[in-house]
Amino acid sequence: MESQSRADEEGSSPLLSPDNDIETEGGDGDSHGSSATIVVVLSTLVAVLGSYVFGCAIGFSSPAQSGILDDLGLSLAQYSLFGSIMTIGAMLGALMSGKIADFFGRKITMGFAELFTIAGWLAIVFSKSAWTLDTGRLLKGFGIGLLSYMVPVYIAEITPKNLRGAFTAVNQLMICCGSSVMFLVGNVFTWRTLAWIGAIPCLLQLVGLFFIPESPRWLAKMGQWEYSKAALQRLRGDNADISEEAAEIREYTQSLGQLSDSRMIDLFQRKYARSLTVGVGLMVLQQFGGVNSIAYYASFIFSSAGFSSRAGTTAMVFIQVPMTLLGVLLMDKSGRRLLLMVSAAGTCLGCFLIGLSFLLQDLQLWKSSPLLALGGVLVFTGFFSLGMGGIPWVIMSEIFPINVKGVAGSLVTVVNWFGTWIISYSFNFLMQWSSEGDISHPVLLFHYLTWDSFKSQESSG
C-alpha cells in the first residue's frame, strides 16, 4: 500500500514519482545527487522562511493578548475572533493553493502569499479598532494557507531523493522556531513592535525569491523542458550529470498528464475509505487535542494559573525546539505509529495536569498548583512537538494514491484548519466558563461535566 501511494514526498506535490522518494523505513537513500549544493541549501533556506512566517503568525496572539486588550479595549469575544479568524483565511488559502501553484508556479505563489502576510502585519501595526485587527489577521491567514502547502512542495521538488526527507522536515522545525521566537520577543516588546518584527521574514523571503530557481518539476509539467533542465543543472551543480534525473522527470510528468483529474466526490468511494478515515482522523486528533488553545493563548493560561507568563512562555521555547528535533530524528527509526502513540499519550497527560492544577486552585487544596500548570503545559508542548505536530502530515502524504492525492490533501488541510478555528475561538469562553475543565481534550470531558454539575448543585443547595 505504501509503495503504491507514496507518489510524492512529505506533503502534497503531484510531481514526485515514487522512485524519487526516500525510504521511510531505513532505505539506503541512493540518489541522483548524493550531496546538497549551495543552490539547494540556499533555495531551501529561502523557502522555509515561509514556514518561519507561519510560526510567527501562530505565536503572535499569545504574547500580544494583554497589550491589545488594554490598548484597544477589546472584549473577550472580540479577541477570540481576532485570535481565530486567521484560520478562516488559512482555509481559503489552502483551498486555492494547489490551483494557484500549478498555474503561476512555486516561486510566484510564495511571493504572492508574502504580499498578503505583509499587508496583514501592516494592518495590525496601524490598527485602531477591532475590525482592522481582524482584517489584518484574515489577510495573514490567507498568506500562510498558501505557504503551508507551497513550502514543503517546493522543497520536495528541488532536493535529491536521499536528502528530501531531512530537508522537508526543516519545514516543521522552522514553524516551531517562528512561534518560539515570538514568545521570547513578546516578553520584551509591545504588540505593535512585535507585528513589525513579524513582517521582517516576509520581506526577506520576497527578496530571496529573486535568487533561487523555479521548481524544475513544475517547469516540466508546463512543457518548458529546456528551462526545466537548466533549473535542474543549477540545483545539482555545473558538473553534475542530470540526464537520468531529467529523463525521469520528463517521463513521470508525461505519465501524470495522462491521468484524469480527480474530483472531491471521488474520495468517498469504498476503496479510499480507510485512507480517508486515517487522514481526516489524525487531523481531528491533532487539533482537538487542544494544541492551538495553548499555542494561541499560552500567556493567558499561565497568568490565569497564577504563574508568570514571561517565565512560562520562555520555558516552552526551551522544550519545544529540542523535542521537535528529537521527533525528526526518531521518525524514521521508531516508526510513525509508535511515535504517534507516545506523543498522543503525552499530550493527554499534559492536558490532565493543566486541568488538575486549576481544579486544585479552585478548591484551594495546594498552594503550588501554578507549578503544576507549568508542568502540564511543558509536558503537552514537548510531547506534541515530538510527534503529533508533524507525523499526521507525513502519514497523510503516504496513504493516498496519486490519482486522488491533490483533492485528498485539500480536504485534510481544510479539516485541520477548521479544527484550529473551533479550538482557537472557543477556548477563551471555555476558560471563562470553567477554567479547570478543559474539554479541548476528550479525556477530560468526564471531569468537565461531572465537576461543573457538582458546582451547580452546590450553588443551588
pLDDT digits (tens, 9 = 90+) for 109-120: 999 999 999 999
Does residue 459 carry a pLDDT above 50? no
- Across 224-362, the runs of DSSP E, i.e. the strands, are none
Confidence at residue 437, expressed as pLDDT on a 0 to 100 scale: 52
What torsion, rounded to 10 degrees, do the Cα atoms 320, 323, 329, 334 define? -130
Is it the case that residue 398 has pLDDT exceeding 60? Answer: yes
Rounded average pLDDT over 155-176: 80
C-alpha cell at 54: 507561519
pLDDT of residue 242: 86
pLDDT tens string 435-450: 555 434 443 443 343 3
Label residue 15 by pLDDT band (50, 70, 90). Answer: low
CA 42, chain centre distance (Å): 22
Length of the chain: 461
pTM: 0.76
From the list 107, 196, 189, 121, the residue with the least C-alpha distance to 154 is: 107
- pLDDT tens digits, 326-371: 887 787 677 778 888 999 999 999 988 988 888 888 777 777 778 8
Highest mean pLDDT among 1-5, 55-59, 154-158, 298-302: 55-59
Residue 55 has pLDDT above 60, yes or no: yes
Task: Quote the percentage of the chain above a pLDDT of 90.
Answer: 28
pLDDT, residue 101, reads: 85
Rounded CA separation 33/1 (Å): 27
Running DSSP on this structure, what letter comes out for residue 23? P
CB atoms within 10 A of CB 322: 14
Helices then strands, counting H and E runs in the chain, come out as 18, 0
Burial class (CB in 10 A: 0-12, 13-18, 19+), 458: exposed
| Cα 91 to Cα 96: distance, rounded to the nearest angstrom | 9
- Contacts of residues 264-268 at CB distance under 8 Å and 24 or more positions apart, as own/partner, are 264/407, 264/410, 264/411, 266/404, 266/407, 267/404, 267/407, 267/408, 267/411
Q: Which residue has the cell 470531558?
A: 445
